[in-house]
Amino acid sequence: MTSVLAASPGERLRTLRELMGLTQAQVSSMSGVASSWISDVENGYRDHDDAKLGLIAQATETPIGFFYVQPMAVPLDSLRFRKLASAKRTVTKRVHALYSESYRVSDDLITSERYPTPPLPFTDADEVTSEEIEELADQTRIALRLAPDKPIPHLTRALERGGIAVAPMVLTDQSGDEPSSNDHFGVSYWSGLGGTALIGYFPASGDRDRFTLAHELGHLVLHTFRPRAKDAEAEANRFASALLMPRERAQEDLSPRMTLTEYARMKATWGISIQALIMRASAVGRIDETRKRSLYVQLSQRNWRKQEPVEVGQETPLLLWTLLERRFGSKPYVPGADHLAIPPAVLRSIAPTPKASGNRRPSRSPQPESATGESRVVQFKRRGEGPATGPTRLAR
């Protein structure tokens, strides 16, 4: 939902600082505007001045419209983060600002191009059992038009085809370098039936990114209509495992006597980390606690806890770039940033230019990739064109 009243330019100035990780003193040094004026305007003690905001906009390479745009209301209690317990609150505030602006831009692009919204299953039950999470994961595969019992070759493309925008997110310091410790993996929000859904993730290894996307998808399905679930993170982890490796295949493919080398081969097939596969084997009853502990000890002995063997290819989003290019042309960042009132650097982060192979131009519509990396053309349908699968509510 869009907020009823637009934020004041002072509030938007604070958002810009959080977005860029700048202090009032740093903005003052960059722009020549007194830090006392910045503080007073942010706190509502004095009215803003268009000329001073213009100096700040120029210094931070931000469109002046950023200070006057109507923001999206993304409720904090509905916004889900996949992060470590060590994540700093100041960084979490930056992530929230980055995600909120990314959601605003994504909603604008998706709505203006009438891109179909996600037909995800959902639940609003007070409690959700492990069995129901498995069932919802199966229903989600159906909603995303995925095979019920096979590896997902390109999860990002499946999400985008299903109407869920995916955005890589980058936090930089003043020098332009990424912070050495972010401790955030992903963040997501779905405004509800017929609304925009966005999953943001901080790129890492291919297998971690896939699990993060599946985890955040679990939040959309499990927690959009029950935002105060007691153990939301554990539920989302269970959902991610069930989505990436359905229970029947897990019970068939994972045996109690599998070695770590065999788990590594399974990782190459399913695109799931060895550690996640061990947890999946435990969840579906293929190994007991003793065997699970033994495997984790072996992981530590081989130094595989932090650096596993078998590289899973990184997936790259395409949907937001496609919508941006359709609206603003083949060089969309400058006109797009001005129209969408977002710093061009942020726009480049969340809608990166796709890498074309050889001289081939990037596709004009999101295309799923096969396990061999080949793309299959999928017709781009706007909202309201052709049949659509509606969302399914979990029956209790």
**For 215-262, what is each residue's pLDDT tens digit?**
999 999 999 999 888 899 999 999 999 999 999 999 999 999 999 999
353 in Cβ contact with 321 (< 8 Å): yes
Nearest residue to 115 (alpha-carbon basis) of 159, 66, 69: 159
Q: How confident is the model at residue 88 (pLDDT cuts 50, 70, 90)?
A: low
pLDDT at 115: 95
Under the phi-then-psi rule, with left for phi > 0, alpha for psi from -120 to 50, and beta for the rest, what region is 373? left
Three-state secondary-structure class, residue 80: strand
Provide the angle, in degrees to the nearest 10, between the axes of the packed helices 130-143 and 232-244: 50
Say how far apart CA 95 and CA 74 lie, in whole Å: 13
Say how far apart CA 365 and CA 388 lie, in whole Å: 18
Three-state secondary-structure class, residue 72: strand
Say how far apart CA 200 and CA 97 lie, in whole Å: 12
Say how far apart CA 28 and CA 217 lie, in whole Å: 40
> C-alpha 293: how far from its chain's center?
31
Give Cα separations from 356 to 41, 194, 226, 318, 364 (angstroms).
45, 33, 41, 12, 12
> C-alpha 318: how far from its chain's center?
13
Say how far apart CA 349 and CA 158 lie, in whole Å: 21
235 in Cβ contact with 130 (< 8 Å): no
CATH number for region 1-71: 1.10.260.40
pTM: 0.86
- For β-strands 197-201 and 184-190, DSSP reports them as antiparallel
Say how far apart CA 279 and CA 237 lie, in whole Å: 10
37-41, 50-54, 135-139, 365-369 — which is least confidently predicted?
365-369
pLDDT at 306: 86
pLDDT at 83: 55
What's the one-letter identity of residue 160? E
Please calculate the CA angle 338-343-349 and round it to the nearest 5 degrees.
Answer: 115
Residue indicated by tokens 């830090």? 35
Give the range with max mean pLDDT: 68-72, 140-144, 345-349, 351-355: 140-144
52 in Cβ contact with 33 (< 8 Å): yes
Nearest residue to 139 (alpha-carbon basis) of 123, 154, 153, 128: 123
Q: How confident is the model at residue 57 (pLDDT cuts 50, 70, 90)?
A: very high
Say how far apart CA 147 and CA 286 lie, in whole Å: 23
Boundaries of every domain in the chain: 1-71, 75-252+313-396
Say how far apart CA 98 and CA 229 lie, in whole Å: 25
